[in-house]
């Protein structure tokens, strides 16, 4: 479905469904922030309460973790948004002619 990191193909390579109708916009980014925040916040609090690391060390380690998790989730959530729009026949998906 994706031809680059976040670029959606105009048509599906397998079924030739047109995908240029999608309007994912900021949805995948918002979902990524929501998920990463909810996953990392308890871990950060647990790590701080358990190990009491220097704040700079804690920020450095968890910044890398947050960026890595965000980079992993973002294209998958964009695919999810396009698939949801296709399934619900939104924004021109399913239109004949």
Task: For residue range 41-92, list pLDDT tens digits in order.
Answer: 999 999 999 999 999 999 999 999 999 999 999 999 999 999 999 999 998 8
Closest CA to 83 of 1, 27, 26, 10: 1
Map out the domains of the chain as residue ranges: 1-97
The residues pairing with 2 across neighbouring beta strands, listed in sequence order, are 8
pLDDT at 33: 98
Measured CA to CA, the distance from residue 92 to residue 42 in angstroms comes to 40
pTM: 0.89
Tell me how far CA of residue 9 lies from CA of 44, 50, 64, 82, in angstroms: 37, 46, 30, 11
Contacts 24+ apart (CB under 8 A), 92-97: 92/21, 93/21, 93/22
């Amino acid at each position: 479905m994706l031809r680059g990191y976040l670029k959606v193909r105009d048509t599906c390579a397998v079924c030739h469904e047109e995908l240029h109708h999608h309007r994912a916009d900021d949805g995948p980014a918002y979902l990524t922030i929501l998920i990463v925040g909810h996953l990392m916040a308890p871990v950060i609090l647990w790590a701080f309460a358990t190990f009491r690391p220097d704040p700079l060390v804690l920020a450095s380690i968890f910044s890398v973790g947050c960026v890595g998790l965000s980079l992993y989730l973002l294209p998958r959530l964009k695919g999810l948004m396009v698939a949801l729009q296709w399934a619900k026949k939104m924004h021109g998906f399913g239109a004949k002619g």
